[in-house]
């Protein structure tokens, strides 16, 4: 694990412990069970087959870039993304490193009909219940942060709560670890993400998706999401030529004066 990821994960453990003191596990479970049924994130991102679907990200800051957008209104951003044709929204909920908030999810869902991903560093079942209680439709699980048994436990829990899971990897060894579990425990709830961001060098390269593509079954191409460092219509054209039609874009959109217009241009007008 890179140093930055190790630091974030260590902080998450203390954050989860503190959250459990405020709201005990039994209580957060009850809240999760009482919350409205999730929107279908999986279907929004994978249908129609073979057509571009964009997960547009709401992210104020990041460890690699610092503050990305000063004029930050998550609801206005969600509306702009929806009007521009985003298939779904990814919302950073980590407070310390990304200046996000779990509260943004409910605010966004009240404003737009799109499904929303809780983009955070999930390492504990408590956070899965917390995500569902906050209104999330999907959660991110990062291969680099989780052992195989932990990953399977979290996948089973997410599925029992009807949440879509985006399992993301950067390193080949972690792709090898998760590959046998793609589609587990149910094929209509799991997406596979290749993150083009190298957290050791803090650089992005969409060539990383092309390098790992050969290790992915052709039948899984429709659930494959290329994430990070996507900035131009040409990036999207190159990914589409390789059969990759699902993408997640954050920083490029967040840096533009008009993120909705930037998304339209990125998607080819
Ligand atoms: O972005 C970072 O600096 C970062 C650092 C440590 C862990 C994760 C990090 N980013 C999360 C993401 O991968 C991106 O938010 C997401 O894939 C969108 O990427 P981009 O379009 O390049 O903003």
CA 94 to centroid of ligand 1, rounded, Å: 12
Distance, in Å, from the CA atom of 71 to the CA atom of 56, rounded to the nearest integer, reads: 17
Average pLDDT of the chain to the nearest whole number: 96
Which stretches does DSSP call E strand in 32-171?
53-58, 61-62, 66-67, 88-92, 116-119, 138-142, 164-169
% of the chain residues with pLDDT over 70: 100
- Tally of CB atoms within 10 A around 258: 12
Over residues 189-199, mean pLDDT: 95
The most distant pair of C-alpha atoms in the chain lies apart, rounded to whole Å, by 50
- Do 36 and 144 form a contact (C-beta atoms < 8 A)? no
pLDDT in tens, 148-163: 999 999 999 999 999 9
Distance, in Å, from the CA atom of 66 to the CA atom of 69, rounded to the nearest integer, reads: 9
Place of tokens 């408590």: 126
Ligand 1 close to Cβ of residue 249 (< 6 A):
yes
Distance, in Å, from the CA atom of 104 to the CA atom of 58, rounded to the nearest integer, reads: 9
CA 197 to centroid of ligand 1, rounded, Å: 7
Ligand 1 close to Cβ of residue 229 (< 6 A):
yes
Distance, in Å, from the CA atom of 247 to the CA atom of 209, rounded to the nearest integer, reads: 11
Over residues 244-264, mean pLDDT: 98
Domains and CATH numbers, the chain: 3-266 (3.20.20.70)
Over residues 104-117, mean pLDDT: 98
Sign of CA dihedral 199, 97, 88, 76: negative
Ligand 1 close to Cβ of residue 197 (< 6 A):
yes
pLDDT at 202: 86
For residue 179, CA distances in Å to 73, 121, 151, 209 come to: 37, 20, 12, 15
CA 248 to centroid of ligand 1, rounded, Å: 10
ipTM, two decimals, is 0.98
The torsion angles phi and psi of 118, rounded to 5 degrees, stand at -80, 105
User: Model-level pTM?
Assistant: 0.97
Ligand 1 close to Cβ of residue 259 (< 6 A):
no
Residue with CA nearest ligand 1 atom 22: 228
Distance, in Å, from the CA atom of 137 to the CA atom of 36, rounded to the nearest integer, reads: 10
pLDDT in tens, 40-59: 999 999 999 999 999 999 99
pLDDT in tens, 159-175: 999 999 999 999 999 99
- Tally of CB atoms within 10 A around 183: 16
pLDDT in tens, 204-217: 999 999 999 999 99
pLDDT at 269: 67
Distance, in Å, from the CA atom of 139 to the CA atom of 135, rounded to the nearest integer, reads: 11
Ligand 1 close to Cβ of residue 227 (< 6 A):
yes
pLDDT in tens, 76-100: 999 999 999 999 999 999 999 999 9
CA 62 to centroid of ligand 1, rounded, Å: 7
pLDDT at 135: 98
- Do 182 and 220 form a contact (C-beta atoms < 8 A)? yes
pLDDT at 199: 85
- Do 200 and 2 form a contact (C-beta atoms < 8 A)? yes
Ligand 1 close to Cβ of residue 194 (< 6 A):
no
Residue 23 has pLDDT above 90, yes or no: yes
Residue with CA nearest ligand 1 atom 13: 228
Place of tokens 């050791």: 200
Residue with CA nearest ligand 1 atom 16: 228
Question: Which atom from ligand 1 is nearest to the alpha carbon of 204?
Answer: 22
Residue with CA nearest ligand 1 atom 1: 62
């Amino acid at each position: 694990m890179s140093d930055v990821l190790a630091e974030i994960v260590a902080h998450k453990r203390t954050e989860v412990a503190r959250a459990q003191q405020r709201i005990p596990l039994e209580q957060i479970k009850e809240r999760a069970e009482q919350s409205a049924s999730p929107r279908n994130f999986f279907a929004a991102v994978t249908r129609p087959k073979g057509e571009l679907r964009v997960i547009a990200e709401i992210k104020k800051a990041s460890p690699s870039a610092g503050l990305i957008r000063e004029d930050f209104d998550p609801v206005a951003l969600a509306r702009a993304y929806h009007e521009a044709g985003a298939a779904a929204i990814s919302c950073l909920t980590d407070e310390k490193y990304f200046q996000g908030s779990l509260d943004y999810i409910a605010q966004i869902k009240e404003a737009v009909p799109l499904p929303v991903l809780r983009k955070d560093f999930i390492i504990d079942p408590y956070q899965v219940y917390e995500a569902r209680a906050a209104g999330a439709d999907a959660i991110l699980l990062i291969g680099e942060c989780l052992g195989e048994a932990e990953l399977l436990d979290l996948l089973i829990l997410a599925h029992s709560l009807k949440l879509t899971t985006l399992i993301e990897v950067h390193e080949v060894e972690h792709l090898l670890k998760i590959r046998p579990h793609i589609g587990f425990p149910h094929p209509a709830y799991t997406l596979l993400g290749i993150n083009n961001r190298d957290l050791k060098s803090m650089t992005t390269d969409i060539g990383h998706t092309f390098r790992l593509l050969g290790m992915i079954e052709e039948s899984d191409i429709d659930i494959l999401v290329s994430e990070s460092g996507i900035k131009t219509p040409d990036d999207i054209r190159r990914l589409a030529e390789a059969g990759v039609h699902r993408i997640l874009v954050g920083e490029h959109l967040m840096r533009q004066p008009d993120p909705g217009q930037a998304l339209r241009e990125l998607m080819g007008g």
